Structure 1
Amino acid sequence: MTDIAFSDLELKPELLEAIHKLGFESPSPIQAQAIPPIMEGKDIIGLSETGSGKTAAFTLPALQMIDTELNHAQVLILSPTRELCIQVCEEVHRLGSQMQGLRAVPVYGGTPIDRQMRQLKQGAHIIVGTPGRLLDHLRRKTLKPATIQLAILDEADRMLDMGFREDMEDLLGALHNDHQTLFFSATMNKHVDRLIQKFGNDPEEVSIKRQTKTVSTIAQSYYEVRNRSKVEVLTRLIDMDNPRLAIIFCNTKRSVDECTEALLARGYAADRLHGDISQQLRERTTRRFRDGKFELLVATDVAARGLDIDDVDAVFNYDIPQDPEDYVHRIGRTGRAGREGKAVSFVFGRDIYRLQSIEKYTKQHIQREKIPSQEEVEGRRADQLFSMVQGRLEQEVSRSYRHYIDRLLDQGHTATDIASSLFELLREAIGREGEEIVEDRPDYNPNKDRGARRSREKGRGKENRRERGDRGDRRDGKRGKEPHMSTLFLSLGKAAGVRPSDILGMFYREGKIPDNTVGQIQLFDRHALVDVHQDHADALCKNLSKSKLRNQRFRIGPDRMA
C-alpha cells in the first residue's frame, strides 16, 4: 500500500464515496503512480502484474472524465477474453455506482450481436470489448470512433499473443489523433513496444516491480483425484481439518452449481458465486460468508474477484486453473495478515502439466499428498467429538438434564452405557456418510493410469500419408480428447513456421468462435490437429475457408482419423 489516500488524487466525490463503500483504504502502487498522469491527459505505459489493482488504475480516471449528460461512447477498453471483459465492466459499475446515469456495456464474441447493437445505439459511455467483436461493431458502424476520447488496452501483451495485432491496429487507427491512449501490460516485449511506438503519444512509463507471488504462510499441496471422486475427497479434507471458512474455486458455472448441490446434499453449509448470479445477490452472499453464516463458498474466478476476507482458512482448487496467475490470485485469499492458510488443488491426467507450469511460475514446490481414507476421517471425527464433549464438561453448564440421567440409572442402565449411547447419537447427528472411491483401493496407481492415457494420446504404429498432404508424422491411435470436442485437420504445420498461438489467434479472430472453445493443439511438420467444441466446428471451417495462415492457403476440415 502507499502513504497517500484516494482523497489526495482529486477524484470526484461520487468516486470517493464508491471507494469508501467498497472498503478500499488507500491506493495500490500502480494506482498511486498511474492515476495522476492519466488525469493530466498523458498517455501511459502501465507495467504491472495481474492482481496489482491496475483495473482501478485506469477505471477511476476514465470515470473521472466521463460526462454522463452526453449520450455517446467516450471510453473504449480492449480486453483479450470474454471473462476479462465481464470483470472490467463489473469493476466499472462498482466504482461508478454513485454516478447517476452511467452506462457501460461489455461486447464480446459467442453471444448474439443484435442485443449488443441495441445497447450501443441506446448510448454507452464506456465500451469494454474483445478486439474481434469491437471490430465487427466498427464495421457495422455501431461503434463510432469519432466520439472516443480515451482508449485503454488491458493486458496488451496477452492480446498480441492471441493474434489480435491486426484487429488492435485497425481499432486504434480508426480513432481520432487527439485521443488519449493507455497501454497496460504485464510484460514489455518487442511486439508491445512496436504497438506503443505506432500509436502512443510520448507515453509516460509506470512500472511496478513484481512482488512475491505466493505467501510463505500458505501450505500448498495437491491430490490426484478423478472428476467423479472430487466431492468425496473434498468432504474428507473438510472433515479432517474443519476450516471455519473455505473457498472452493471451479473453472465453470456448471461446475460451481454441481459442487454446491453435492455439498448441500451431504449436509454442509455452502453457497455459490458465479456470473449468472445478480450483483445484489452476490453482495448478499459475500456478506453472509464474511459473517460466518455458512462455511463453504463455491465460486468461479470472475465472481470471486474483489473478494476481500481475512479469515479464510483454506482454498480448494476444485478445478486447476488454466493460468498460473489465477492460481496465485486464488490462494492469496487465505494466509492473510500473517495468518497460516492452506491451498489444496485437485489434479488428474493432463492437469499435472498445468501444475508443473504453476510450480515453475511461482518457483515453489507443491507437495503431493495421499487421499485420507474413510477410517482416518472417522478417527478425526471421533477426536473432534471427544474434544467437544470434554470442553463442555469443563464449562460451568446447566444441570437441567440430570433428571433424565437419573431415570436411566433407575432403569438399570450403567453410566458407561448411557454415555456410549449419547456419543453414538451425537456422532450420527454430526457425521456424514462417505462413499468408497477408486482411489481407496490398495492397487490404485494414478501414475499407471496417466502413463496409459499418454500412450493412447500419442498413439503408436506406422506412418500414414493421405489427403494429398504429407502426414508422415501422424501416428495411428486415439488422441486424448475431452467430451463434446471435434478434431479438425489443418494442412499447415511446423514446416510453414506455424505456431500454436498463430492457430489460436486465427480461430478466435477470423473463425469468430466463442472464447474457451479450443482444446488441445497438436502441431506436426506438415499439418496440425486441433480440438474444437463440436457446436462450433462447422461454422469455424466455413469462416476460415478463404483465410490464410502465414500468408499461405490451407485446407481445414474434420479429421478422418479421429
Structure 2
Amino acid sequence: MTTFESLGLQENLLKAVTDLGFVNPTPIQEQAIPVLLGGDRDFVGLAQTGTGKTAAFGLPLLHQLDLKIRQPQGLILCPTRELCLQITNDLKNFSKYLGDLSIVAVYGGTAIGLQLRELKRGAHIVVATPGRLLDIIERGAINFDNVRYAILDEADEMLNMGFQEDINSILSNTPESKTTWLFSATMPAEVRRIAKNYMENPFELTVGSKNSGNVNIEHEYYVVRPRDKYAALKRIVDFNPEIFGIIFTRTKIESQEIAESLIRDGYNADALHGDLTQQQRDKVMKRFREKSIQVLVATDVAARGIDVDNVTHVINYELPDDVENYTHRSGRTGRAGRTGISIAIISGRDIGKIRQIERVLGKKFVKSEVPDGFAVCEKQLFALVHKVHNVTVNEEQIDPYLGRIYEEFADLSKEDLIRRFASLEFNEFLEYYENAPDLNVKEERRGADENSMSSRGTGKFTRLFINLGSVDNFTRGDMLRFICDNTGLRGNKIGRIDLKGVYSFFEVENDVVEKVQQSFTKVEYNGRSVRIETSQDGDKRKSGGGGFRSYGDKPRKSWSGGEDGGFRPRREFSKSGGGGGGFRGKRS
C-alpha cells in the first residue's frame, strides 16, 4: 500500500503529515502529488469534495516554495470565506516544520485593513476569494511578479457563483510563465473553457467518473405529500438518533423558518444563509463543528466550502435545480473515506428529477418508506439503551453521591429500575407518535393526488396565470422567489411552477389565492404591470392573440439580492438551539 513517504515529499512535510495522523494518501493524493512535484506542468484534477484535494495540491506547493523570497509564489482561489479559512488552516498545519513561512487568507465579510497589513509584511502563499482579491489588486496592494503556481480549488463552484470575469481579471495579473493547477468536483463546459484558455497541454486526472458522486455515499428518497414534508423531516431525524447532518433548502427564508420550527420542537438546530452577518455565520459554524448543533439548515451558497468531518446525513428538503448542486450537497458527507447518506424528501412530481440525477451520477437511489411511529420509538429506545450501556463512568466524581443514589433506589428491583429508566425518555416519544399517520404516498395514488391538487376547488391547489416567463430571464427558482417576495408566503404554499416563454402558470394553496391576487395588484416588473389571473382566464387571454409582447432586454431583478438571490426573513434568528445531547425536547 502506498504511503506518503513513497511520494517524494520532503522530510519536514512528512513529519507534519504524521503528526496529523495521516498514513496512507487518498487516491487523488496518491496520483496527483507525484505529478505536481514536477512543478512545471499544468494540471486538471477531477475528484469529489471530501477526497483530500487540499493536501493533493497543498503538499506539492509547500514542497517547492523558496522561503528566501517573501513574495507570493502560490496563489489559491476558492469560492467562499469558509473554504478560504479551511485551506489556510490546513496549509499552516502541513507547514509547521518548514520555518518562517507566511500564508495569508484574503476574503470578504471582514475588515480589509488587517489583510493589507499582512500582505505588506510579505506572504509566500495567498489564499483568496475572488471578490476581495480583486479589491486588493485594484488598490495596488499585491505584487504577483513571483507567482509560480496559480491554483483554482472548487472551480465549478466559483463559476456557479458568477466569478468567471473575476477569475479572468485575476489570472491576467499573474505571470504567463506560471503553472496552473485546477481542481473541481464536476467538469461543466465553463470549467473546461478555463482549462483551455489558461493551460497548455495539462495533465488530466480523474478520480472516479466525471460528475459522479462519492462512492461512499448512499442515496435515498422518500415520497410524501407537499404538506407532509416537515413532518417527514422530523420523523427521519428522530429515526436517526445519532444524526449529525445538513438540511438543504432552496431559499434563505425557508432555511430560517425550518430551523426555527425545529428549535421550537426541541431539536438542536440552527440556520446558515446569506442574510446572516459574517459574525453570525462564524458563530453558527463554530457550534456546528463542535457538534452543539446536530442539524444545520442551509442554502446552497451558504454551505459551499463547509468542510466538517463526520457529517452522517445530508437531507435535501428541496432538490436543487441542477445535478451539479446535488453533487456538491451530497459531498458534504462521506468525506475522507467515511460513509454517508444523502436523503431527498420529494413529492411525486420530482421522481423524474431523481431519475435524471441517477443517470448523471451513475448511482441508483433507494426508495425508502418514512418510518411509522412504532419504528421511531423503537429506534430511540435502543439508542438510549446503547448510550447508557457504553457511557464512561467518572468514578471519582460520582463516588460521593453513590450512597444517596443507592438509598433512593433501594426499594426497586433491577427490572423495575430498568423499566422506569427506559420510560423516563421513551414515554415522550410514545405519546407524540401515538396514532401517527402514514406519511408515504403510495405509487398507485400518486397520479390521482397530484391531478386533484391542480384543479381549482377540488383539491389543495389552484392554478394561476402570470404574464412573466423565460424571456424575462426567469428560472423556476427565480419565479418561486419572486412570488414569495411579493406575497410574503413561504415556499411550501407554492406548488408546481410551469414556466413558458412570455407567461407562466403556478399553483398556490386554495386558501391564499385571494392574497396572491391582491399582492400583485400594484407590482411592476421591468416597467410593466404584473398580472395574476386564474388559469382559465389566463388561457383565454393567451389564445386571443395580440395580448403579449416578447421583451428581449435582460430585466433587473426587482426583489432584494443577497448572496443566494432570495429575500430577507421576517424576523432575526436569535435562538441558540441548545447544547448537545441529542434530540430531546417538546414535540409539537
TM-score of the superposition, structure 1-length normalised?
Answer: 0.60
Q: Measure, in 2, the Cα distance between the counterparts of 1:169 and 1:472.
A: 28
- In structure 2, the CA distance between the partners of 1:9 and 1:450, relative to structure 1 (3 Å rule), is farther
1:19 equivalenced with 2:20 (yes/no): no
- In structure 2, the CA distance between the partners of 1:241 and 1:10, relative to structure 1 (3 Å rule), is closer
The count of aligned residue pairs is 456
Q: Measure, in 2, the Cα distance between the counterparts of 1:472 and 1:271.
A: 35
Q: Which amino acid aligns with 2:334?
A: G
Contact 2:220 2:365 (C-alpha < 8 Å) held by counterparts: yes
Q: Which amino acid aligns with 1:246?
A: I
Q: Return the match for 2:32 from 26, 31, 34.
A: 34
Q: Measure, in 2, the Cα distance between the counterparts of 1:56 and 1:200.
A: 22
Unpaired runs of 5+ residues, structure 2, are: 273-279, 389-405, 488-499, 503-549, 566-588
Counterpart position of 1:57: 56
Q: Percent identity of the aligned residues?
A: 26
> Which one scores higher on RCO, CA 8 angstroms, separation ≥ 6?
2
- In structure 2, the CA distance between the partners of 1:383 and 1:151, relative to structure 1 (3 Å rule), is closer
Contact 1:73 1:126 (C-alpha < 8 Å) held by counterparts: yes
Q: Measure, in 2, the Cα distance between the counterparts of 1:350 and 1:106.
A: 44
Unpaired runs of 5+ residues, structure 1, are: 287-293, 390-398, 407-417, 488-492, 496-523, 540-562
Which aligned pairs between 1:324-343 and structure 2 lie closer than 5 A?
324-332=326-334, 343=342
Q: Return the match for 2:560 from 517, 534, 553.
A: 534
Alpha-carbon offset, residue 63 of structure 1: 1.7
Counterpart position of 2:403: none
Which aligned pairs between 1:98-113 and structure 2 lie closer than 5 A?
98-109=97-108, 111-113=110-112
Q: Which amino acid aligns with 2:209?
A: R
Counterpart position of 2:411: 404
Q: Measure, in 1, the Cα distance between the counterparts of 2:336 and 2:39.
A: 38
Alpha-carbon offset, residue 56 of structure 1: 1.8
Note the aligned Cα RMSD (angstroms). 5.7
Q: Measure, in 2, the Cα distance between the counterparts of 1:228 and 1:122.
A: 57
Q: Measure, in 2, the Cα distance between the counterparts of 1:358 and 1:343.
A: 12
Alpha-carbon offset, residue 60 of structure 1: 0.9
- In structure 2, the CA distance between the partners of 1:374 and 1:38, relative to structure 1 (3 Å rule), is closer
Which aligned pairs between 1:208-247 and structure 2 lie closer than 5 A?
208-210=207-209, 213=213, 215=215, 218=218, 220-222=220-222, 224=224, 230=230, 233-234=232-233, 236-240=235-239, 242=241, 245-247=242-244
Alpha-carbon offset, residue 61 of structure 1: 1.3
1:149 equivalenced with 2:148 (yes/no): yes
Q: Return the match for 2:428 from 420, 424, 432.
A: 432
SS of residue in 2 equivalent to 1:332: coil
Counterpart position of 1:362: 361
Alpha-carbon offset, residue 249 of structure 1: 1.2
Per-residue CA shift, 1:67-113, capped at 9, x if unaligned?
45654322111224445434433432343345454443333455554
TM-score of the superposition, structure 2-length normalised?
Answer: 0.58
Q: Measure, in 1, the Cα distance between the counterparts of 2:313 and 2:97.
A: 33
Q: 57-66 or 254-263: which moved more?
A: 254-263
Contact 2:83 2:307 (C-alpha < 8 Å) held by counterparts: no
- In structure 2, the CA distance between the partners of 1:94 and 1:494, relative to structure 1 (3 Å rule), is farther
Alpha-carbon offset, residue 16 of structure 1: 1.6
Q: Return the match for 1:7 from 5, 8, 33.
A: 5
Per-residue CA shift, 1:389-437, capped at 9, x if unaligned?
9xxxxxxxxx99997369xxxxxxxxxxx98998467423444356589
Q: Which amino acid aligns with 2:465?
A: R
SS of residue in 2 equivalent to 1:73: coil
Per-residue CA shift, 1:139-167, capped at 9, x if unaligned?
21122111322211234455456554443
Per-residue CA shift, 1:302-348, capped at 9, x if unaligned?
686262x5xx8x525165575122244245369958xxx75434457
Which aligned pairs between 1:298-447 and structure 2 lie closer than 5 A?
305=307, 307=309, 315-317=313-315, 319=317, 322=320, 323-332=325-334, 343-347=342-346, 358-367=357-366, 369-374=368-373, 377-378=376-377, 404=411, 423=419, 426-432=422-428, 440=437, 447=450
Contact 2:217 2:330 (C-alpha < 8 Å) held by counterparts: no
- In structure 2, the CA distance between the partners of 1:246 and 1:45, relative to structure 1 (3 Å rule), is same
Contact 1:73 1:148 (C-alpha < 8 Å) held by counterparts: yes
Per-residue CA shift, 1:334-380, capped at 9, x if unaligned?
9958xxx7543445799888756543432445355554454664576
Per-residue CA shift, 1:425-452, capped at 9, x if unaligned?
7423444356589x95999998579859
